[in-house]
Structure 1
Amino acid sequence: MENITSTILSATPLQGLVFGLLSLPICLWVAYTDLTQMKIRNEAVLALFVTFVVSGIFLMPFTEYLWRYLHLAVILAVGFGLSTIRALGAGDAKFAAAMAPFVAAGDIAEVMILFAGLLVVTWVAHRLIRMIPAVRSATPGWKSWSEPKDFPMGITLAATQLTYLGLAATQ
């Protein structure tokens, strides 16, 4: 049985580095706005999509570049289905779809495992951190602290994007 840490990702180190650096400010923006407003702004989704459109064409063969748009379509359809039944927010669905082209087809299983692990970590961390009075007083008005049921999935999605690309960059 192969250890997951020794698995070589299909994404190249150059893709991980360039996509990761370009995604970093957008992912931080998404995490922040989701924590503070419980919203992922359409401008952030569009910025991530444009990042792939502009940089992706230089980082992979053209055929692969075109196929990556299928990832976006599939995740957008699944995400909107989940949003319709209120399993996640529409912003989460759109941001996940914008993230999808960055993931190489051969890495989908690894990204799903990474997302599942980070979902647990970010959910527990969010629930614990919001109980700390000093944190709440330092961040007044942050909507995610007072939402009893909703969770700012943008922090998990952003963490997944950056961790995956970071792992690709360092392989």
Structure 2
Amino acid sequence: MNIPANAALLFLPFVLPICLYVTFTDLRAMKIKNQAVYALFAVFVIGGLFVLPPWSTTWSSATVGPWSISLPPYIWHLLHVVPALAIGILFYLMRQMGAGDAKFLAAASPFIWPGDYFLVVLILATMNVAALVTHRLASFTGLRSFAPDWKSWTRARHIPMGLSLGGSLALYLILGTVYGS
């Protein structure tokens, strides 16, 4: 994994409660609250200054058409939000994802290190299948009577994506603490 283990370890205690909250609220109300998205983004904006201080890291360059752009890694990570939000909005417009899911995806994107993109896609795909199977199976057990008012039980065509999105980010950071560079 390309994420440094110390970076994953520093982010994890702040990100994990947000991921758990997102999972819970999406299961209960089929909504990811804006304050959770803002909090997640704030964790990177503030924590990223300590993990990837722009004033003490070497800048990296990228070529976009005829222009060469050189920025600190902290800024490159923040720029992940733009394509992630665009992809999320596209999925929202195709009715494949909720708006809160798209916003959460964008807020989570700065935490992903370049070089780990394929791994994160695999984690997300696996978590989507696991969330679907687990949620559907749980709806036929006594767990449903434990939380009978959850909206996710009655949405036959939709699954709470917060379960897989929050779980994917948490799992990525947990794996990063163990196997990170």
Q: Deviations over 1:89-145 (max 9, x none)?
A: 00000000000000001111110011111111111001100111x211111200001
Is 2:177 the partner of 1:169? yes
Alpha-carbon shift at residue 146 of structure 1 (Å): 0.9
Pick aligned residue for 2:143 from 125, 130, 135:
135
Is 2:75 the partner of 1:66? yes
2-structure distance, mates of 1:35, 1:117 = 19
Which has more radius of gyration? 2
Q: 3-state DSSP class of the match of 1:101? A: helix
Q: 1:3 is matched with which residue?
A: none
Aligned length in residues: 162
Pick aligned residue for 1:121 from 96, 113, 130:
130
Alpha-carbon shift at residue 57 of structure 1 (Å): 1.2
User: Which has the larger helix fraction?
Assistant: 1
The two structures, once aligned, show a CA RMSD in angstroms of 0.8
Q: 1:47 is matched with which residue?
A: 39
2-structure distance, mates of 1:14, 1:158 = 20
Structure 1 ranges of 4+ moved more than 3 A: none
Is 2:28 the partner of 1:36? yes
1-structure distance, mates of 2:150, 2:110 = 31
Q: 3-state DSSP class of the match of 2:80? A: helix
For structure 2, the residue ranges without an aligned partner over 5 or more in a row are 55-71
Q: 3-state DSSP class of the match of 1:170? A: helix
Q: 2:102 is matched with which residue?
A: 93
Alpha-carbon shift at residue 61 of structure 1 (Å): 4.5
TM-score (norm 1): 0.92
TM-score (norm 2): 0.87
For structure 1, the residue ranges without an aligned partner over 5 or more in a row are 1-8
What percentage of residue pairs aligned between the two structures are identical? Answer: 41
Q: 2:14 is matched with which residue?
A: 22
User: Which has the larger strand fraction?
Assistant: 2
Alpha-carbon shift at residue 71 of structure 1 (Å): 1.1
